[in-house]
Structures are given as C-alpha cells and as structure tokens.
Chain A
Amino acid sequence: MPELSPETLLNAALGLLIVMTLAGAVLAVTLRKVFHNLLGFGLSVIGGAGVTLILGSEFVALMQLLIFLGGIAIAMVFAVMMSTPNEQAEEPRSAGAVIPAILLGLGFTALICWAMLDGNFPQSSPYVAEAWSVKNIGLLLLTDYELPFEAISILLLAAIIGSVLIARRTREPEPSEEADRG
C-alpha cells in the first residue's frame, strides 16, 4: 500500500470535491423536478465550499455554506412548497431548447477559458496565515472597502424590505390592469 502523503490526500480530496461540485451542478440543472434540483444544488454548494476551504479561506467557505445552503436553498424550498404541486410536474424539453443552451453555455465558457488561460498570472504565492485570517478580512472591510461594505448593507436592507413588500402583495390583479395589458 503506497504511503498516503498529506499532499496526495489533499489532492484526492480536491478531486472528490470537484467531482461533487460539478455533479451536483449538473443534477441541479438537468433534473426535471425542482425539488431534485435543489438537492443537487445543495450538493454543489457543499462541494464548492470544500474547494474554497482547500484554497485556504475558511471564512468564505463558511459563509458559502451558511448563505447558499442555509439561506438561499431553504428559502427556495419554501418557495417550492408554496407553489402548487403540479408545478413540479415535468416540464417539456425539446432538442430545440437544449442544443442552443448547450452551445451558448459551452461557447461562452470556452471564451472565458481562453481569456483566462491566455492571461499571464503568477502561478503561486506563499501561504501567509495572517493574511487569510478573519481579522484581516474584517480590517479590510472596515478600512479599504468601507464604502462597498456600506453599499452592500444598504442593498441587503433594500432587498429585504423590497422582497417583503413584493411578496406581501397578495391581492389579485385588477381588471383594469388586465384590460390595459390586452
């Protein structure tokens, strides 16, 4: 039995995580029931968070899990639950819809890859633990990035209020609106 160096283990874990992320993503977009999609999404997010963790950013990984899985996915579950079951029925899918989507997705990705791999990036830099600490992030957020930070806060606040307002409008559309649209 060959010796399992930490290096190898890490690589293996990374490979696993990558497979998990991509597989989850594929499931999330291809399965026809939204609930299954959500499960796939969850898998993909967990994989992604793992990758982030391996890259060295615990905090971001944590946030990813927390918000995507804890917040967004759960909210989606609620949304799915609140819509009628027949909406979860299989939607029709034709080659006319699939092929352009695949082509566009692959084409665009190819473009991005081309652009990114073309770029001349430094391939490694030393891992400095302090730089990856939460403390450093907190300092940055409150010094260099204070304005974006505040803007994001306001955005979130507005999003919360807005979504509450939008979702609260439960009444049926007025007839006159219907007529206008006709």
Chain B
Amino acid sequence: MAWLDSHLLTSILLCPVIGLALTALIPASRTGAIKLSAAIVSGISCALSILLWQRFDPSTSRLQFTERMEWLPDLGITYIVGIDGLSLPMVLLTGIVFFTGVLTMWELENRVKEYFAFTMALVAGVFGVFISQDLFFLFLFYELAVLPMYLLIAIWGSTRREYAAMKLTLFLLAGSALLFPALIGLSHYSGLNTFDLTLLSDANTDWGGMGIIIFLFLYLGFGVLAGIFPFHTWSPVGHVAAPTAVSMLHAGVLMKLGSYGVLRVGMQVMPEEMVRWAPLIAALAVCNILYGAFVALGQTDLKYVIGYSSVSHMGVVMLGLATMSAAGISGAVFQMFAHGIMTALFFSSIGHIYDHTHTREISRLGGLFTTMPRASTVFIIAGMAGIGVPCLASFWAELLVFIAAVKKWPLAGALAIFGLVVSALFVLRVVQRSFFGPERDDWKDMPDMGNFMATPRVILAAVLLLFGFAPFLMLDQLAASVDALVQVLEASP
C-alpha cells in the first residue's frame, strides 16, 4: 500500500500496460477470459483514478504525486509524472471512459484479443499524456495513443473505414510533425536543454521571434487533435467509422489530448504568446461552435451529428482557454470532462441502436422511444447535456465559459451562446425524428438494453448528473491550479 501511495500515477499508467500483457498471454480463442481481464484491468485503473481524485489536495497548485527518474540526462529527458488540478479531471475521465468502453464492447466477437490489446495500448498512451510532466514523454505517449486508432478503425470499423482510418492517421501525424519541432524548439531555445515542463514554465524565457513560430506549431499540432476549424474533418469521419467504444474513446478522451496539450504546453510554457494569439484562437473557436452546430444540423447519419457536435463542443473548450480568465479556464477544463462523458454516452447509445437496427439514418429510425426506452433515454440525457440543460455537468462548463467570453469579447460570446440554440435544434431534431413519433414495424422486435449492457450507460449518466448537481466537486479541485495559471497569464504583457 505504501508503494501504491508513492507510485499512484505510475500504477495507473501500468494498468493498461499490464492489461496489454495479459491480453497477449491469453489464447485468442478464450474471448471470455480476455474480456474479463480487460474489465478487471480497466476497473482497477478506474478505481485508482477515483482514489487519485479523492487523495488530491485541492489547496495547492503544485504538482502532486510526482515521481522522477533520470532517463537520458544528456538530452534533458526525464521520466516525470505528476498531476495538478488541470490534469486530474482528465485522468478521472480517462478511467471512467476506459472502464465503460470495455463494458460496452462486451458483445464483441470479431478478433477480440487484438481489439482489447489495441485499446489497452491506446489508453496507456492517453494516461501517459495526461500525467507526463516531461515534454518528451508527453509526445511519446501522444504518439502511442494515436497509432492504435488506425488499426481499431480500419479493422473493426464500419462506413468507409479505410478512408476514415487513413484520414485520421494522416491528420494526426501531420499534427505530430508540427509538434515535434516545436518541442525540440522549446527545449533548445529556452537554453535549458531540458524537456521538463515545470522547469520550462518556471524559466520565464524570452522567446523572441522564435516564440511565434513555436507557439503556432504547438497550437496547430495540438489543435488538429482538438478538431479546431478548419482541421476538423478527420474527426466526424473517424467517429462514424469507428466501433462504439472506439468512438467513445476517440471523442471522449482522444480529442481532449489536443486541448489539454494547448493548455499544458501552450499556455503554461508560453503565456506571452498565448496572450498574443488569444484572439485568433477565440475566433477559430467561435467558428467551431457555430459551424460545427450548423453542419451537424444538416447531417443524416446519427453518428455524424454527434461527430460534428463534438467539433462544436470542442470549440467551447478552446473559447474558454482563449479567455484566459479563471472562469473561462475552469469552464474549459470542466467542459473537457463533461463533454468526454457526454459523447461517450451518446456513442454508447448509438452503438446499441446500430447493433440492432443496422442503420444510423435518422430518417429510417423513428419511434425508438417506444421500442427501446432505455437506449433512447440514454440518448436524450446525453442530448440534454449537449444543449446545456442545467443539472447536467456541461451546463456549468458552458455557463462559465460563456460568461467569461462575454466579458472578454462580447460579440464572440453572443455568437457562441447562439451556438447553443443551434445545438438545441440539431439535438431535438434527432430526438424528434429518430426517437419520437409512431413506432416503426421494422424495429418492433428490437431488444432494449439488458441490465448488464445498461450498466456502463448508467455509470456515465450518473457521472453527468453528479457533476451537474454538484459542480463544486470539480471546481474546487481546479481552483488553485487555474488561479496560478491565470496569474501567470495576467503577468504576461
């Protein structure tokens, strides 16, 4: 237990790695055992992240649970893990989505072993990004998280999967291609020859002319993953093609890597540049919000609708970050968390529907509420979260972001709020066409979710409701770190 106390983060990181090893050791024919081991491993990592949440000390903005190990001292590479209030929600989010994602895929029959192996690799990468405090390791884990996506989509996907997988991979690798020089640049031009994030951000380096280039590289590189306009098209296509749990991980967690990267590396290390570029970031974010919502309104495929709604909601995150105020940043981090849970819920509901009806055409579905009340309720709850209905976590996030945005740029704030109305339009349009209305003969005999399959959905919905009723649970954890960051930003010219 003492070891666990001092190595909590590494343990969380090791969970999926151990799961990967376990999966590799179990013969492929014993799918039951593979699933069970995956469930246990993901359950443990989820439990550990909850433990982390509970042990976290919200009164300080310093890194907690840190562990250090020299890796390549000559190149300034150190294995450092640690979390502060900004990464804590992300770790919890990953734990929850990981666990529920594994449960959601319980009925998978095709190449079970490979599927769970790749999932484990992906999750290990994601955990790694969120806890790494060393740029090199952050980048390493980032790549680790991106690559399994290709296989997961290309092998287990549906509509146009090769195209989608290739598009996604190319986009994300293009992002990496921008990131890598930026990271090297950070290490080099800081004059410190280190990748240690804390050292870099404490150094207050004057980046001179290089700052612009490095920051833009960082912003674009991470931004691609966060789906910033106009580099977002990989994301809906990827969602549509991906199998259910991969969509959950993709929209729920993977896209957050991008915004988290901007927050952690961009804002924390280069506050002056952030101040300089904030208007651009905000403008693109508003584009994301409105444009994503309008495109979602025009879609005919359920998953595309949700895919574009993610684009819209990630815009809220970026807008919150761009305001550089306590409310905006707290809201953005909260939104990352809430949106992760929410889209996971969306996709898990759609997954159930698609598994049984074999269609996601909005116009072909209809009257599902009568046939599948549980799946429909899940979708509606997620939908309500999506349009910012109170008592669901994303309401608070959007509230904070929008107030902060109105303060900084009233027009951008107003446009973003208008985006909420459009969100309401597309969510309710889907609900009305696919879930309400008279029962269709085609779907009359479709089974609803069983108790077991409902479990992951209930967990996700419960999390949304919990943080919807009690936002202070989240905001208190964030407060110290956000305040420290805002002070740094305000001190910048």
Please determine if A and B sit in direct contact within the complex, based on CB atoms under 8 angstroms apart: no
B-binding residues in A (CB < 8 A): none
Please report B residues at the A interface, Cβ cutoff 8 Å: none
